[in-house]
Structure 1
Amino acid sequence: MKSPIHLNALRALEASARHQSFSAAAAELHVTPAAVGQLVRTLEEWLGTPLFHRATSGRVRLVPTEAAERALPDIRAGFDRLTLGLERLKEGSTSGVLTVAVSPAFAAKWLLPRIESFQTAWPDTDVRLDTNLKSVDFVAQRIDIGVRYGAGSWPGLTADKLMDEEVYPVCSPKLLHEHRRLEKPHDLARETLIHDLSMDSHTGFPTWDMWLRRAGVTDVATTRGMKINNSAAVLQAAIDGQGVALARSVMARDDLASGRLVRLFSEIAFASPLAYYVVYRAECSSLPRLLAFRDWLLGEAVT
């Protein structure tokens, strides 16, 4: 037999039981207390049994009956499933929110200067950036897609390579002009070195020691200098003339193109052992807005 009880009556029951009040339930549901009370009474009439006792010790409270207490866990679970189902329906379109996890430096130096072209192409997708220096839990924090820097393997995530990276020294044009002595890598011994510690604990992250070994330099002390745990701030310190930074090419691209930074010793090539990857959960790989953003990222990487 089909139940005549509307879902609104079950919502009124659940909210009233949780708040122990028709008034508080009404405020949550954006209706009047009289409307909540009527919905609950309709449900009680259909069942032929009361669902609340009125407790009058102190203030008046609604106390669910034993029958209501037994049913409430299943009712709440049902609403949770309905909410999940609606989210699944939303995922099937390009409209809605797309949550993207990136580091603060990658957002500032690469993603944000380019994001307008994605928003123009996909105006119904609202991009929400989650910027964090640490890796996030995609399931717990409801992340759709992200960009990570590393060796390409993260448990539970599919990783598509986005960009390789080169590492090289950079400084401001003013510093280069004033000093006029940065002609060979050995000249770095007289300069303040700016160190990037944003991924200091990761094996393989490029350091001044690694670059200087590639350049064949052994007389430059790398224990001194300025140490910063944000790649964007490393470049800003170099732009401000505070020293010579070991730049990551993806981060420094726009600053070099604009002339804010100058690359030094371009004859020495040093490819980073790490790269940028687009990452997402395999079970979400067919979602239209995720695919649209992934393909846009891959396209931007080659332009």
Structure 2
Amino acid sequence: MSVPLRAITVFHAVARFGSITRAAEDLGVTPSAVSQQIQTLEVGLGTALIGKAGRNVVLTEAGERYFEMIGAEIDRIMEATQRIQGFRSVTTLTVRATPSLSTKWLLPRLAGFVEAHPDIELRLDGTNEPTAFQKESVDVEIRHGTGGWPGLFAEGLAEESFRPVCAPSLAAPGSLAAEDLPRHRLIHSVKSQVQWAHWFKLAGVVPAARWRRLLFDRTHMAIDAAAGGLGIALESDLMLWGDLRAGRLVCPLATPPRITLVTQWVTCPPDHLRHRKVRAFLDWIRQERDAWAAERSAETLPANL
């Protein structure tokens, strides 16, 4: 029994979205029509491809293997079809990055890439979820972590310096000593690789057993909370740079302990490096990184950068 290509593309959409309803919306058909196409494909292949887990769709083991085998090919067929139909006159580059890096570092700089590459349509996917490159149509990910992911190209974005920051209305630049900080509300980025306990140890400060804390699971939320005067945050200058330059944030210590790390990594499968659009993005982001590092070295910010 031959399997219609339509049924294969419908399965691809369901597997990609993890939802019959979302696949139907993307394809412009009813959920019932999607289910019928999946049934046709399963009959043609002689095996079950999807199952249900509550309201969610899950792939069977056979479904997982099938999606891995056809995913990239269907993506190429769909892109080629759209090009011929005239729906897309440019190449799409999909970049995934955390919401915090997207908001605080990438977005203020993207105009340069867009203007330099008018033939590349950029899609910025702001999420914290690591990319499953074999299953998802993502070209490049800027991943938060420690690096060293097997099978992936990984290049550190920049060396970051972590420091306490607050609104100038809360404390003037250089006006506090390290031992003063526990008396203030401390803002925590719970997923950060540098936490307050480590900072206090380096500073030689033993805080009280109970702190006044405000916790966020997104760095950009912690930064905005500090800029709003809610407390003192411990964050990376890579994320803080725009707020520091604008004067919305200052470091209240004259000589904070120096903590440097690389926490953001540009990653992709090695074969993606063959694509012109990926190479163009990597060249651009390296230039932006170097320009930012030079700016950080040359510019004197209030009291302590």
Q: What is the correspondence of 1:1-303 to structure 2 with a 5 Å cutoff?
A: 84=76, 95-177=90-172, 182-199=175-192, 205-221=193-209, 223-303=211-291
The Cα shift of 1:253 comes to 0.7
Deviation per CA, 1:237-274: give whole Å up to 9, x if none: 00110000111110001100110000132423332444
| CA separation of 1:111 and 1:228: change in aligned 2, threshold 3 A | same
1:4-56 alpha-carbon deviations (Å, 9 max, x no partner): xxxxxx99x8669x99xxxxxxxxxxxxxxxxxxxxxxxxxxxxxxxxxxxxx
Matched letter for residue 257 of structure 2: A
User: 1:181, 1:287 → 2: CA distance?
Assistant: 48
**CA distance 1:247–1:85, change in 2 (3 Å):** same
User: How far apart in 2 are the matches of 1:183 and 1:109?
Assistant: 26
Aligned to 2:37: none
Q: Which runs of 5+ in 1 are unaligned?
A: 1-9, 20-68, 71-76, 200-204
- Matches of 1:244 and 1:251, distance apart in 2: 15
How far apart, in 2, do the equivalents of 1:281 and 1:227 lie?
34
- Opposite residue 298 of structure 1, the aligned amino acid is R
Q: Whole-Å Cα distance in 2 between the matches of residues 275 and 254 of structure 1? A: 18
Provide the secondary structure at the position in 2 that maps to 1:302: helix
Q: Kindly report the root-mean-square deviation, in angstroms, between the aligned alpha carbons of the 2 structures.
A: 3.3
Paired residues of 2:166 and 2:232 also in contact (CA < 8 A): yes
- Residue 285 of structure 1: SS of its match in structure 2? helix
% same residue: 30
CA distance in 1: counterparts of 2:234 and 2:289, whole angstroms: 22
| Secondary structure of the corresponding residue to residue 123 of structure 1 | coil
Give how far 1:223 is off.
4.8
* Structure 1: 4+ residue segments shifted above 3 A: 13-16, 80-90, 220-224
Q: Distance in 2 between matches of 1:87 and 1:164?
A: 37
CA separation in 2, counterparts of 1:208 and 1:275?
Answer: 17
Deviation at 1:84, TM superposition (A): 3.4
